[in-house]
Structure 1
Amino acid sequence: MSKRAPVNKNDYIEDAYFEDLTHDGNGVTKIDGYPLFVPNALPGERGKVKVVKASKNYGFGKLIEIHEESQYRQEPPCPIYHQCGGCQVQHISYEGQLKAKEKHVRDVMARIGKLPEVPVHPALGMEEPWRYRNKAAVPVGEREGGLVAGFYQQRSHEIIDMDRCIIQHEKNDEIIQKVKEICQKYGIRPYNEEKHRGTLRHIMTRYGYQTGEVMVVLVTRTADLPNQNQIVEEIVSSIEGVKSVIQNVNTKRTNVIMGDQTKVLWGEEVIYDFIGDVKFAISARSFYQVNPDQTKVLYEKALEYADLSGDENVIDAYCGIGTISLFLAQKAKKVYGVEIVPQAIEDAKKNAELNGFTNTEFEAGPAEAVIPRWYEEGIKADVLVVDPPRKGCDEALLNTILEMKPRKVVYVSCNPATLARDLRVLEDGGYKTLEVQPVDMFPQTMHVECVAQLVLR
């Protein structure tokens, strides 16, 4: 007989105690061991909850009132926080956010990695955890005949119009408002996803923190952009720092932002920015970290863990546009980078040239195929750095690391759960995890990046 949930939809729990926070910022209360996930509730709080969904193994609730409040609870500074789906934890003080992220990493290390003894340091946070994002990409819609642009409402495709977002750099707010006004003036129709009609799908901006350079990207459904010349002229004359106006054409019925066709309408194909002393060319489609201040913290930690003397060969798996590779190249004898996206490898080569690095080599292809071939060709790594996507390292790559046996592995991760899983595999294969350092790249959200240092036993 299958067990039934101890609660039903529309039940009220008069005195729920919240013991934890999920990776997406929901409070967790348990009824006879049955977990109920409740948005806006914090660990240590008590409150009244209404059950809104009850499946066999877990349910969701709505916080009706709080009886006992957490010391970390605060009033969210953003006026549209409760409607918008952009942030999850503005109702937690920054100190509380950092503690929650450290605890999350510690928990998955113990539960998934079976590594409760590995030191997890306090999360490295920002002095000013607002206005940090150098890139914005917002969908465009229509309301009462006017253009609106903003993030989607939680769990819906309703756009919340906004004139400012307090985790975006002020410059991005200014650009989006200006571009919205200009497109409205010239009668540009927003994209309607139900009917697959209209022109303008997204407005995207990139801002170089160190250089002040601006890129504006108009993502359109059609290759034809009515009144293109006038629109471009006004963007260039009214926004300071614009170096690049790009059109990206996405003709598909999809919620993926960018399409396959990108063309320069005015100016350069790239803008430039620095992380530390390393200069990067950033195109409309480049993957470039959105929080440059904390990226520097993250990469300096990776460089510290690599502990290079200048004699080492380093392999950077999942190298992207060469951001970590070039940081490592400052101290290594030779850095080999591999990445599955060919365009990113072209960018990595250009970035190496831009900075005058002659000790780097980049190749496009899956890391799990390229690195074993390098190994057969006699290219052996003293230090291997991985910075995989959220799903973690490919199993074949982990096997290659165990076969190749680099002295050190530095694992940069954007998902603590897959980090813990992969560390377990490397531990079982002869490595020892010395320490894990969480870094807060995305304040006001529950995302946390980590750097782990491993040595061959």
Structure 2
Amino acid sequence: MEYREKKFKSGGENGKKNWKKENAGRNGNNGRDVNGKTERNSGRKETQNFVSGTEKRNGRNYGNQDKSVEKKLGYIDEKLEKKYGGAWNHTGEKNMNAGDKKKAVSAAKRQDDRKTAYVQGKNASVQAEAKTERKKSLCPHFKTCGGCQYLDMPYEKQLEHKKKEVSDLLRPFCRVEEIIGMDDPFHYRNKVHAVMARDRKGRIISGVYKEGTHTVLPVETCLIENKKADEIIGTIRELLPSFKMKVFDEDTGYGFLRHVLVRTAHATGEIMVVLITASPVFPSKNNFVKALRKVHPEITTVVQNVNGRDTSMVLGEKEHVLYGPGFIVDVLCGKKFRISSKSFYQINPVQTEKLYNLAIEAAGLTGKETVVDAYCGIGTIGIVAASAAKEVIGVELNKDAVRDAVTNAKANGEKNIRFYNNDAGKFMVQMASQNAHADVVFMDPPRSGSTEEFMDAVAILNPDRVVYVSCNPETLARDLAYFKKKGYRAEKAWAVDQFPATSHVETVCLLSRKAQ
């Protein structure tokens, strides 16, 4: 089948990856990203994933909320949902009068306070337990960074905690297999982000935001980040004075270099350096790149991303390639993938291969199936699954990701896969209205989970099996309950430790249609 990129004027946010989601293994307030597909200091869970364009995902996730509050609140309008989070349980009325909305706002704030207190208390107890395991922390920034809640806990115990969390939440629905851990749970992050600033003495520093603040904590090395990426950021920091480049000051709005992003390809060794600047004017840019590559000849491309707005988003819209092709290529599950600065790509390639192979095995593909890859991003799961299916249809709202997905499919010679630039839920409803059929649906939503509309669309399309890849077991449990009402039952689930040293865990869950 031919490749088609079809554009629709549709809303939704399933393709927009903000900085918190794209890397679901780090807390969001510290200015670093986690998982995959950020708004700084918005709730301290890097439970969301990275920027791709200008929109943000909902930054709050209320998980399992107090049932009495849920019944009173119900649905609030879109504006309130965006302000207080999109993960409200799927109950209640959609319409409210002004008085009810005012009460809803007040209740939402109270609920947010309870959730924040719960998360802080949970993290504090975890850190306290970890402290009893080791008298001295492995990282001097353990208490102030907040990105690695489980760092000082023996790895076996980390896995126990995560397995128990997933098992407890999914117990009403299905059994959870043994958690799949990592052989070497350090330096696994293939994307490293550093905030540039000056300390009180005027010295240039790079690092993360201290938990719950906009104060930059200088961090030169990190136990879960790629070592080479940390070295490159250090070199950039040292080069700035000789090129008279000023770092950006959030308070005054003056300065040039705001952030540095380094992406590395695990299989090919290619390295991308992204310099996020407040202005497009970059004096001596060629000499700067030359000096940087003299120290690090392994760098294969350098990109300038311009973000001059007063915003909490990291990446801006405009980019200029300063050196190389402007992207890197990695190999995952035997397939090549082109990764640009804004692409959503899982940050732990070793565990991602295990995760994707598990998801495809769970789907039970025989070569005769039509597969829908919803929230497909740059096409990773769909392209890996294409050789085992009759045809694959990828749907993604982010047009940049769709272009990358088409390029990736062509590069791998996959001719039985098509990509559409559309909201996945609306697209599946359109498929059903045209009497189209899908045997399997892969879904990989953000940490806030799926939506009623999307799950309704899945039920309308009526596939035999749904493979749900989740980076938040709380919203997974909530969505499984809704799927159950729609005639789907959870068969089994697998936990994968995608983010060692953090409290985050990935889950693959197989759902099948109940017999009528």
Higher normalized contact order (CA 8 Å, seq sep 6+, divided by chain length): 2
How far has the Cα of 1:236 moved from its partner? 2.2
Tell me what 1:126 maps to.
182
SS, match of residue 362 in structure 1: strand
Shift of 1:70: 7.6
| 1:444 is the counterpart of 2:501 | yes
Pairwise mapping of residues 259-408 of structure 1 onto structure 2 (< 5 A)?
259-408=316-465
**Which region of structure 1 is more displaced relative to structure 2, 410-419 or 71-80?**
71-80
Please give the alpha-carbon distance, in whole angstroms, between the structure 2 residues aligned to 1:452 and 1:65: 29
Contact residue 328 and residue 339 of structure 2 kept, 8 A:
yes
Query: Does the alignment pair 1:88 with 2:149?
Result: yes
How far apart, CA to CA, are the structure 2 residues paired with 1:205 and 1:199? 18
Aligned to 2:133, which of 54, 57, 73? Answer: 73
1:394-433 paired onto structure 2 within 5 Å:
394-433=451-490
Based on CA coordinates, which of the two structures has the bigger radius of gyration?
1
What is the TM-score normalised by the length of structure 1? Answer: 0.83
CA distance in 2, matches of 1:185, 1:136: 24
The SS at the match of 2:300 is strand
Paired amino acid for 1:229 = N
Distance in 2, matches of 1:374 and 1:430, equals 19
Structure 1 runs of 4+ with >3 Å offset: 22-25, 55-66, 68-72
Deviates more, 1:385-394 or 1:314-323: 385-394
| Matches of 1:63 and 1:390, distance apart in 2 | 18
For the residues of structure 2 that align with 1:367 and 1:357, how far apart are their CA atoms?
21
RMSD: 2.5
User: Contact between 1:72 and 1:93, CA under 8 Å: does it hold in 2?
Assistant: no
* Whole-angstrom distance in 2 between the partners of 1:436 and 1:63: 25
CA contact (8 A) 1:85 1:155 kept: no
Residue 134 of structure 1 contacts residue 209 of structure 1 at CA under 8 Å; is this kept in 2?
yes
Match of 1:102 in 2: 163
SS in 2 for 1:150: strand
Return closer, same or farther for 1:386/1:139 CA change in 2, 3 Å cut-off: same
| 1:242 corresponding residue in structure 2 | 299
Looking at structure 2, the residues matched to 62 and 296 of structure 1 have their Cα atoms a distance apart, in angstroms, of 30
- Hey, what's the Cα distance between the residues in 2 that align with 1:62 and 1:241? 41
Check the 8 A contact 2:426/2:457 in 1, yes or no. no
Question: What amino acid sits opposite 1:281 in the alignment?
Answer: R
Q: Secondary structure at the match of 1:97?
A: helix
Task: Indicate the structure with greater strand content.
Answer: 1
Residue pair 2:196, 2:258 contacting (<8 A) in 1 also: yes
Q: Identical aligned pairs, as a percentage?
A: 37
SS of residue in 2 equivalent to 1:155: coil
Q: CA separation of 1:64/1:147 partners in 2, compared to 1, >3 Å: closer, same or farther? A: closer
Provide the secondary structure at the position in 2 that maps to 1:82: helix
- Provide the rounded CA distance (Å) in 2 between the counterparts of 1:230 and 1:87: 37
Alpha-carbon distance in structure 2 between the residues aligned to 1:343 and 1:419: 27
- Which structure has greater helix proportion? 2
Structure 2 portions without partners, runs of 5+? 1-43, 48-112
Matched length:
401
| Structure 1 residue 394 displacement after superposition | 2.2
CA spacing shift, 1:23–1:183, aligned 2, 3 Å: closer
1:182 to 239, 246, 250: 239
Q: Quote the Cα distance in structure 1 between the aligned partners of 2:183 and 2:206.
A: 29
Per-residue CA deviations over 1:398-434 (Å, capped at 9, x if unaligned) read 1121122211110001111111111111122222211
Tell me which residue corresponds to 1:141.
197
8 Å CA contact retained: 1:393, 1:422: yes
